A and B are shown apart, each in its own frame.
Chain A
Amino acid sequence: MREAFKRFRRGVRALVSRRALDREMDDEMRLHVELETEELVRAGMPPIEARRRARLAFGGVERFKEEARDGRGSYFLDRTLRELRLSLRSLRRNPGFAAVVVLTISLAIAASTATFALLERIVLRPLPYPASERIVQVTHDGAGSDMADMGLSSGAYLHYVERSGTFQALATYQETVLNLSSGMGSAERIHVTMAGPELFDVLGIHPVVGRAFTAADARGSFMNLNWTIPVVIGHELWQRRFGGDSAIVGRVIRVNDRPREVIGVLPPRLAFPEPRAQLWMLFIPEASRASMDGPGSSVVGRLRYGVTPATAEAELRALLPSIVGRFRDATAERLAEMRPTPRVTPLREIVVGEDAPVLWALFGGVLVLLLVAIMNVANLFLVRAGQRSREIAVRRAIGARSADVTRLFMTESAMLFLAGSIIGLMLANAALAMLVRASPIELPRLQEVRLDGWALAFAATVAILGTLACGAPGALRWRRDIPMDQPLRATGAVGLGRRGRRARAILVAAQLSLTLALLTCAGLMARSVAHLARVPLGFDEAGLLTVEIGLPYAKAGRYQAVYSGLLQRVRAIPGVGEAAMASDVPLSGIWGNSVPVFDVASGEGENVPRASLVFHSADYLDVMQTRVAEGAMATPGGSAVSHPVLVSAALSRRLFRGGESVGREIRRMDLDGELDPRQPSYTVVGVVEDVRQRSLSEAPAEVVYVPLIDPPVDPFIVPTEMTVVVRTTLAPESLVADVRRVIADYDASLSVARVRSMESMVAASSARSTFLALLLAGGSLTTLLIGAIGIWGMVGYAVRQRIAEVGLRLALGASTRSVTTLFLRDALAITLAGAAAGAVLSLVAGRVLRALLFMVSPTDPVTLLAATILLVVVGLLAGYLPARRAARVDPAAALKVE
C-alpha cells in the first residue's frame, strides 16, 4: 500500500516535471551519442559516418524516450491522460449518447444518495448517547385503561425499580412548558423536562459544567419548603440567557416564579426527549402518593450489559402481578380490568418511530431504480460497443492489446460515471436542502440531514460498481481475439440474444410498473394536499399574528385586569387593527385541557363527550372572523344570563342532537371526570361555526367558548397561558418586534413564547403531507424519466439492429407510418404490461399511504387513471423518437450498411 502510494507520488512528480525530466533525458542520450561518435572516430572512422553509426546503434531517440518514461513510472498517468483525451474526443462525436448516459447516472445517483443520506442520518445513525442501543422506553399497553399512551403509572414505575434486575437504571420524565424570568431579556416560556434523578445516568450524559442529579438530590423532598429544587440547563439556553457564565453553577434562577438552583449545563446540541427541551427540573416520584392506575409519566431505562429488550420485557411481565396490594388501588380486580402489558422498546425506535419503514421502503425503491438505471446505461454501452466493432478491430490490427481495449471501455465508462456522480451529488445536495427547508418539524432528526462522508462513500461505491458494470460488457465482448477480417469488412452489429432482449423487456416493464405505483402515490398525496388547502378553516388566517404569553402565578388573581390592559396597549400599535386573546387558538399545536361536558337537561349518561374549554376576550371571534351561527356573542356585562358560554357547532350537534341550543344549560366536570358540586352550570347563548382547531385533517373540535367577563364564568380556572391574536393589514411578521416591545414595556414579568403568523401555522399543519407529496413527486418523476430512457434505449437498439431490414421495407414501398408502427408496437406492449402490473402495485401502495391521505380514497380511480395516462404517453413518446428516426432513414444508405 505504502509502496503503491510512493510509486503514485513519483508518477505524479514525473508527470508534473515531465519537461525537466525530458530535458535531462535528452542531455543524457545526446552525451551517449557524442561519446560513441568520438570512440568510433578514435577507432579511425570518418566523423560523419561515425555519427550516423552511433545514431543507428542508439535507434529512434523518441521511441526510447517513451520506453524510458515507462521505466520512470509516469507512464501510467501519462497514458491515462491520453486515454481520457481519446475518450473525450470519441464522446464528443456522440453527444446524444453521452448526454443520456450522464443524465441517467446523475438522476440515479442523486435519488439514491439523497435517500441514503436520509436513511443514514435519521434511521441508521445511533442516538447521540453512549451505548445508546441499551436505552429503552418502558410503557404499558393497557386494553382496559385510558392511560394507554401515558407511559407508566407512578406505582408501576416504583414497583419495577424495586424488583427488576435487568435494568441498570430507570428514570421518569415528563414534558411541560414553564416561564423562565431569570437571565437576559424579558420572561420567556421554555420547554422543560421534569426529570427523574436517574435520567442522565440512563442517557449517559455528563454535564460540561457542574454536575447531573445525584442520589443525594433524590433524597430531597418536595414537602420541604426550604429546599431549592435543582435544575440542569441546556447549552443553548446557558449561552443565550446567561452569556455562557461559568459561575452559573449554584445560581438560583426563577422558573414559574419559584427559585430553582442550577447545578449543571448539558453539552451542546444534547436535549431530551425533544430537541426543544432547554431545562431539566428534578422530579421525584413519591412512594406515599403513588398509585397503580392514574396519571403516569414516560419512563426510559438503561438495560444492563447483554440484556435484550425482550428479556427485560419478559421479566417485567412476570413481575407485574406482584404489584397487587402495594398501593391503595392495586387490587387484583383492577389489574384484571386494566390488563396492562409491559412493553420495552429501544429508544431509537421511539424516536424514529413510524418513519423508519417509510424510509426503508423508499430506499428499497430507489435501489431498484438505481439498478434499472445502471442496466439501462450498460445496455447503451453495449449498443455502442457493437457500433464500434470496426474501430476496435482496427485498433487490434495495429497492435492494441486486449488490456488496452478493456482500458478504453473502462475509461469511457469511468468518465461518464464521474461526470454523472458530480452532477448527481450537486442535485442530491440541492434536493436535501430543499427537503430540510420544506420539512415538517415532526420528522425526527431531519435538521441533521446532510451529505456527509457516508453519503459520499455511498455515491462513490455506486459510481465504481456502475463503472465496472457498464465498462465490462464492451470489454468482455472484445477480450477474445476476434477474427479481424469480419468486422473490418462490415459493421456486423453485435447484439443481445433472444433471451437477453426478453430479459431487458421484462426489466423495463418492471421498472414502469414501479413508476406507475410511485406516480399514483404522488398523485394521491398531491390531491390530499389540495384538499387540505381547501378545507374550510372557520377563521381567516390572512393578516393574523399570534403571540403566546404566560402570566406569572403571582398575578393570577388579577388576570382580567392584566389581560385587558395588555390588549389596549397592543391595539395602540400602529398598523394593528384589532387584538384579542384566547387560551387556545387553532392549529397552535397546544391542546387545551379537555373536560367532560354534559347537557344538564338530559343528565350525565354513559358517554360524556370531552370538550376543550377556550377562554377568550370579548371580541376574539370577531378578530378571528369566526362566525357565530346562532344566538349572539356574549359581551362583557351585557349578558342577561349568568355564566354565558358559546359552543361549537360540533359540540352542539353532539349534545343537543339538532335541537335548539341557545338557552340550554351545560355542566363541566374536572379533568379526572369528577363532578364538583360547587361548579356552576353554564348557559349556552350561541353556537359558533366549526373551526379546525387541532389540525386540518382532524374533524372540527368540540369546544366550549368561555368569555373572560366579570364576574368570571368559571371561578375555578385561571387561564394563565394565553395567545394574543392581532389582525393587521400589514405583513404580520413586520409587527413582531413592536408587539414584543409593547408587552415587555407593559409588564416584563409576562413571558412571551412563540410569535407566529397564522398563515405559517396553517402551512405547518399541512407540512407533513406537503413534504411527502414533494418527496413522492420528485421520486416518481425521476423514475418516469429513467423509465423513458429505458424505452428510448430499447427501441433505439432495436432500430439499429434492424436498420437493413428497415431499408429493405422502405425500398419495397413500406410507408413511413408502417415502419414507425413496427417499432412503436414493442414500446406500447411493454408500456401496457408495465401499466397493468403497476396498477396492482398502486393499489397496494395506496393502502400503505392510507393513514396520510385526506379526503382521497387510496384506490381513487381518477388518480390511477391520470397516472396511467401519463405513463403511457411518456412511454410512447420515448419509443416514438427512435422509431421516427428509423422511418426517416435513407433506404439506399441503410441497405448499403449490410
Chain B
Amino acid sequence: MGTTQQGGSQHGIARTSRARTEDEKLQELAKIEKYRQLEDQVRFHAAQNNYTPEVFQLTSKLLRLNPEYYTIWNVRRRLLISGLLSKPSAGSSPSTASFSTSPTATTTTSSDASSSSLSTATPPAPASPTAGRSGTTADEDGSQGQNKDFDILKSELGFTIPLLLESPKCYWIWSYRLWILRQAIQRLQTSVARRIWEEELGLASKMLTKDKRNFHAWGYRRHVVQQLESPELGGTSMAEPEFEYTTKMINADLSNFSAWHSRSKLIPRLLDERKADDEARKAFLDKELGLIRDALNVGPEDQSLWYYHHFLMLNLVSFVGHPTITPAFTQEDRVTYVLREIEGVKELLEDYDDKLIYEALLDYTLYLCQLEERQPEAGERADLVVWLRKLMVIDPMRSGRWTDMEKNYGLMERRLSMGDETVALVH
C-alpha cells in the first residue's frame, strides 16, 4: 500500500553482480531451514494457545533474527497477558478503572486501547495522583503480583534495547516497547511506573545522540514526555526541561531541524506556563531572534535555520487565531521588527550569495506589505524584481515557482526594462 513503510526494503546497500558460490548457497539454505523450523514451532504453539515460558523464549529467538515480524510481537503480547503477567485482581491494580479495557481482550479497538493509557478522565484510584503510592508496602494485597510484573516488564524493556540499537527505524519494536510501558501504568504502582517511564527519556536521548534526526526517536520522546506530564503518572509540565533539551541539541549541531521544530512547538506553552508578561515575551523573542541570527551568520545555506527564522517572522505577521510569542505587539512594533530582520538578512549578502537569502528577502518584504495591507512600493518592487531575477539564475531547478511568483505579484512588467538577459531566463 502507499505508505511510508520501509521495512524489508534495501536502503543504502551496494548492488553486487557477484554470484553466490555453491558453498554460500548451501549455507543460505541451512540458515533458511533453521529459521523456518523456529517459525513453525512458534506458530504451532501460538495456535494451541500454549502460553509457557518455553514458547516465550522461542519468540525471543525468532525476534532477534527478525524484529520486523509483527505477528511474533503480537504472540509475545498474548503470552504476557494470558499467562506470564499476573492476572488483574480488583482493588490491587493502581488503575483498575482503565485496566479492564485492554489486557485480555484481543479484540480491543484502538480507541479503547488509547483511552486506557491517555485518558485523563480516569483518575487512578484509590490515592490522589499527586500523593502517589510509593508508601505501599510489600505485604499489601497484590503486591507480589506487582513485583513479578515489574520484573517481567523491566526484562521486556531490556530485551528490545539491542534490537532498537540495531534497527532504530523499525516501527514494530518502538510500538511494542510503548505497549510494555502502558502495561506498567496499568499494573504497577504509579510511583514505580513513573520511574520506568522516566528512564525512557534516557533511551530517547541515547537514540538521538546516535542519530540526531531519527523521527521515530523524536516521536518517542514526545510521547514519553506527554505521558510523564499526565495525571495518570502524577506528572506536571515538562516544557522547561524539554525546551532546554532542544537548546542543548541545537548547540551541539545548529543544523538539526528536528530540534528547531520541537522548539517551535514548545514555545507557546512555555510562555504561558512562565506566565510571561509583555516585557518577558518581547525579551524572549529578542533572544530567539538573536540566536537564529547568529546561526544564520555562519550557515546561511542551511534550510533548518531559515525554517526557524520563518517561524519567528510568522509570529510577527500572522497573529490572528493562534498563539504567538508577542500578542501585545502593536502594528508599529511588528513593522519595526520585520524591517530590522530584513536589514539583517540584507547584511548577509555582503558575505554570501545563497539562494535562501534571496528567498527570505522576497518573503519578508511581502510579509511587510501584508502587515501594512498595501502593495509593494516602487523601491520595494525594484528590489523584488532583482531578487527574483537572482533566484532564476542561481536556482533554475525551481524556475516554475519563481515564474508563478512573478505572475502572482505582478512583477513582470519590469522584466522587459531589464533587457534580454532576464527574458531569456524565463521560459
Q: Do A and B come from one complex?
A: no
